[in-house]
Structure 1
Amino acid sequence: MKFTEFTFKPYIQEALADLNFIEATEVQERLIPIVLEGRDLVGESKTGSGKTHTFLLPIFQELDETATSPQVVITAPSRELATQIYQAARQIAQFAPSDIRVANYVGGTDKARQVEKLASQQPHIIIGTPGRIYDLVESGHLSIHTAKTFVVDEADMTLDMGFLATVDKIAARLPKDLQFLVFSATIPQKLQPFLKKYLANPVMEQIKTKTVISDTIDNWLVSTKGRDKNAQIYEISQALQPYLAMIFVNTKTRADELHSYLTAQGLKVAKIHGDIAPRERKRIMNQVKNLDYEYIVATDLAARGIDIEGVSHVINDAIPQDLSFFVHRVGRTGRNGLAGTAITLYQPSDDSDIRELEKIGIAFVPKVLKDGEFQETYDRDRRANREKTREKLDTEMLGLVKKKKKKIKPGYKKKIQWAVEEKRRKTRRAENRARGRAERKAKKQTF
């Protein structure tokens, strides 16, 4: 389903066009109509399925831009998630014909400044972490009694992090006749009492996300290992020799930095991000079509909607902050049944995001670049797997090893070491004798 099929306000359609959002995800297609009906909703779907715009688009559709009081409260369990929602909301709000006030209240920010601003003007849309929002509500500075919609995003994480009690306090300050929207990757049993307390006959929707990456795409993981990523991406480019490669980055600043570096190395590199003027962007796209460039450094602005023929490789400079963009990035290659390769650079801190992507069916193959060629390498979970499959020591050996680890006199340590080694030698001799007997028995049977 295309976004143009929804009857959104013109400025919302402009915002979607700016993002190059053309096709709605399954979550958006199924849940946006329910939210627009004003029903309470519990939406269960995995991270990266497009939940943020599932609730933001209907919120802006129903928003009264002429009102002066808050109409929407959105909570997220972390500062980073709240800020991502805020940035997505600001992107839509900037296209509105009148001023839509969107505020982000998270811990670690200047509370005094927020209080000062609230004294003169309340936001239309309140986004933030439960602790800071409730702090401002309890102090009387933030007024939420006029809100029409309350969104609890990542409810299971909110529960796990111990914030559900604070969300409960916020909900208690809201009017009874508001729309309650809960989004979560899972719906644990401990969340049920909260849902029953506040939601009136909610629609319960579970979206089992299917992978949408083409079978023709090789999906590789490459560890940065603390290396300079600019140099590493240049080495990768030399090994690939692509027909056309798109290199995705998370910020405009990073796009500028990487573009300058690769250009200085003599590569033909285009650059596309939100600060590129429309006329300049059109010129660049025409040059890309004329094969004037081998590489395109782009932010996620280019991940959706831009159909560039002949993209042989996609390189992710980093995993996208919004995991839903991963599929859109990788989907730039392997189109129309052609082969493609997607390479994602990662570091240990990305492991949880990689696991989330694997949960929706994305399979990664770990690779390492050696002597100018990509080779398969160990799985990133090799240490945990090795622990699981490690040979179990017998009781006597285990006791000796434990004794050896204790802080004891050096002479005794040598004795323990000798005992451990002697035990191992005896075990090997016994195994060799058993093997020899088996071989001799087998020979007798053949004669």
Structure 2
Amino acid sequence: MATFADFNFQPFINKALAAINFTHPTEVQQRLIPTIMAGKSVVGQSQTGSGKTHTFLLPIFNAVDPHTQVVQAVITTPSRELAYQIYDAAKQIVRFNPAIVVQNYVGGTDKQRQISKLQRTQPHIVIGTPGRINDLIRRGALDVHRAQMLVVDEADMTLDLGFLAETDAIAGAMPRDLQMMVFSATIPEKLRPFLRKYMENPVVEVVENQQVISPTIDNFLLSTKGRDRNQLILKLLTMGEPYLALVFTNTKERADELSTYLRHQGLRIATVHGGIQPRERKRVMRAIHNMEYQYVVATDLAARGIDIEGVSLVINDDLPQDLEFFVHRVGRTGRNGLSGTAITLYGPGDDSKIQELEGMGIHFKPKELKNDRLVDTYDRRRRQQRGKRQDHMDPQLRGMVKKAKKKHKPGYKKKIKRAIAKDAQQKRRIERRQKMRAQRKQRRDNW
């Protein structure tokens, strides 16, 4: 098994890794760290919790020259919370080489103070949100024209939140022979023009999760039919003793509404969403990390990249609008080999979303609440499965079967079999054509 010693890092990095008990690299680290250290641009596609942050931080720290007081690396990330997390990870390394200066620039902080400090000295490594970093560059305060490395972390989220233009401007202010490192859970089609603009033949590594959801997580599905959703969440939070419970909502309005209800029931609730002022959000996140809260209500802002230690229970108030966020939400629990529970509430109109999640390889255990306990219940698809063979049949064929059965004309069975065989053959042809188109498209998109 590979160890971090195999990468031949500088001694101060090895000391930092020993201090945080990192011995064996994750798969994405094992694949990409040597490539980054060789100076190549990379695209790393892997899920939350795969170790992406140290995949780029370690080679950057290894390459930085502390005796040259210029910006040498810029790391962008789409949210303040993610920026703070990367900054905290960087500070763990800086402790063992204080000569390297790392600064964090995000919106909602004192811009004028940052500009004043930059006029005196430039940091070696810049971490922050695209909007604030680009603003400092435009004002002539932050000088990145000699920086050789740019990291775009959570690139798909950067695109979704509308920060790609700012990221583009940052890359445009840097040297042409830039080493770019892009990390993302997915690589949407709309992101590809940006990647082609700045990356020529990058090394692309797609690290597939062996399991979509960790085997240490009990993934339950609970129907809200005939129940008040607020009361149901209150019961789920209080019938056990979660070490730390995280409830996800789709909107900040719903987060506020649910938080208010739970507070009125006597629970001490921390609320995290994009509508809360940055200073307050930072204070709340610090309090959560210090275990001052047992219950947290949050939007998907907190679902990606936020490491809150000790989450034992995750409740999805509703299925996320973007189903990819489901994995990020549930992945907040069951980490580092610890067990966790995820409970997803669903209504009568959510079947198609659940089927889509199941198609992604996510498996649910159906549960219901009885006598203040979660007990096994029937699979919601039981009726569908009864008529499964018929449901997969073309509607026209289904009508033919019913009609033929009623009339019982001679040869009707052979006629039906021929029609079914013809229908199946046609479907196979369509599937083959779709597969060939997808393969051609993939070849065109290859780097």
Bin of the TM-score, shorter chain as denominator length: 0.5 to 0.7
* Counterpart check, 1:332 vs 2:329: no
In structure 1, the partner of 2:96 is: 96
**Contact preservation (8 Å) 1:75, 1:152:** yes
The match for 2:240 among 233, 236, 240 is 236
Q: CA deviation at 1:370?
A: 4.1
Q: Name 1:161's counterpart in structure 2.
A: 161
The separation in 1 between residues aligned to 2:111 and 2:309, in whole angstroms, is: 36
- Report the equivalent of 1:148: 148
1:201–1:212 Cα change, 3 Å: closer
2:11 equivalent in structure 1: 10
What is the deviation of 1:165? Answer: 2.4
Instruction: Tell me how far 1:51 sits from its aligned partner.
Output: 1.6
* 8 Å CA contact retained: 1:158, 1:164: yes
**Percent of pairs with identical residues:** 48
Contact (CA 8 Å) 1:213, 1:331: kept in 2 or not? no
1:122 matched to which residue of 2? 122
- 2:179 alignment partner AA: Q
Alignment of 1:12-411 (within 5 A): 12-93=13-94, 95-211=95-211, 218-220=218-220, 235-237=239-241, 253=288, 256-257=291-292, 315-316=312-313, 326=331, 329-330=334-335, 332-333=337-338, 342-344=340-342, 361=361, 363-365=363-365, 367=367, 370-376=370-376
TM superposition shift of 1:182: 1.6
Residue 236 of structure 1 aligns to a residue in which SS?
coil
Residue 75 of structure 2 contacts residue 151 of structure 2 at CA under 8 Å; is this kept in 1? yes
Which amino acid counterpart does residue 38 of structure 1 have in structure 2? G
Are 1:210 and 1:360, in contact at CA under 8 Å, matched by a contact in 2?
no
Q: Does the 8 A contact of 2:333 with 2:340 survive in 1?
A: no
Alpha carbons 2:244, 2:293 under 8 Å: kept: no
Q: 1:123 to 1:332 in 2, by over 3 A?
A: same
2:109 aligned counterpart, secondary structure: coil
Distance 2:356 2:142 in 1: 35
| Number of residue pairs aligned between Structure 1 and Structure 2 | 319
SS of 2:312's equivalent in the other structure is: strand
Deviations 1:399-431 (A, max 9, x none): xxxxxxxxxxxxxxxxxxxxxxxxxxxxxxxxx
Gap change, CA 1:356 and 1:135, over 3 Å in 2: farther
1:32 partner letter: I
- CA distance in structure 2 between the aligned counterparts of 1:80 and 1:13, rounded to whole angstroms: 27
CA RMSD of aligned residues (A): 4.6
Note if contact 1:20-1:302 (Cα within 8 Å) is conserved in structure 2: no
Measure, in 2, the Cα distance between the counterparts of 1:327 and 1:187. Answer: 22
Q: Is the 8 A contact 1:25 1:49 kept in 2?
A: yes
Distance 2:245 2:16 in 1: 21
SS at match of 1:180: strand
Report the 3-state secondary structure (helix = DSSP H, G, I; strand = E; otherwise coil) of the residue aligned with 2:157: helix
Summarize deviations over 1:121-170 as a string: whole Å, max 9, x none.
21111112222111111111111112120111222332333322222221
For residue 177 of structure 1, report the CA deviation from its aligned partner: 2.5
| Contact 1:230-1:258 within 8 A present in 2 as well | no
Tell me the amino acid that sits aligned with residue 49 of structure 1.
S
Partner of 2:266: none
Contact 2:312–2:341 (CA<8 Å) still a contact in 1? yes
Q: How does 1:403-442 map to 2 (within 5 A)?
A: none
Q: Is the 8 A contact 1:118 1:142 kept in 2?
A: yes
CA contact (8 A) 1:47 1:356 kept: no
Structure 1 gap segments, 5+ residues each? 238-244, 260-298, 304-313, 334-340, 381-437, 439-447
Question: Against the structure 1 CA distance between its residues 101 and 107, is the aligned structure 2 distance closer, same or farther, given a 3 Å change threshold?
Answer: same
Return the alpha-carbon distance in structure 2 between the equivalents of residues 346 and 123 of structure 1: 44
Residue 221 of structure 1 contacts residue 343 of structure 1 at CA under 8 Å; is this kept in 2?
A: no
Mean Cα deviation higher: 174-183 or 19-28:
19-28
* TM-score normalised by the chain length of structure 1: 0.58
Q: Using the TM superposition, give the Cα deviation of residue 13 of structure 1 relative to its aligned residue in structure 2, in angstroms.
A: 2.9
Q: Secondary structure at the match of 2:126?
A: strand
Residue 22 to residue 200, structure 1, CA distance change in 2 (3 Å): same
Shift of 1:256: 4.1
Separation of aligned partners in 2, 1:205 and 1:195: 14
Q: CA deviation at 1:120?
A: 1.6
SS at match of 2:206: strand
Partners in 2 of 1:256 and 1:216 — Cα distance?
22
Quote the offset at 1:302 in angstroms: 7.3
* Residues 346/72 of structure 1: CA separation in 2 closer, same or farther (3 Å cut): farther
1-structure distance, mates of 2:355, 2:83? 21
d(CA) in 2 for partners of 1:126, 1:45 = 23
Q: 2-side partners of 1:356 and 1:170: how far apart?
A: 37
Cα offset, 1:331, TM superposition:
5.1
Equivalent residues of 1:75, 1:151 under 8 A apart: yes
1:70, distance to aligned residue in structure 2 (A): 0.9
Q: After superposition, give the CA deviation of every residue in 1:295-315 in whole Å (9 maximum; x if it has no partner).
A: xxxx96978xxxxxxxxxx82
Higher-Rg member (1/2) = 1
The answer to whether the 8 Å contact 1:149/1:179 transfers is: yes
1:252-272 superposed Cα distances (whole Å, 9 cap, x missing partner): 65654469xxxxxxxxxxxxx
Tell me if structure 2 keeps the 8 A contact 1:210–1:361. no
In the superposition, the TM-score normalised over structure 2's length comes to 0.58
3-state SS of the aligned residue for 2:151?
strand
Q: 1:359/1:302 Cα in 2 relative to 1: closer, same or farther (>3 Å)?
A: farther
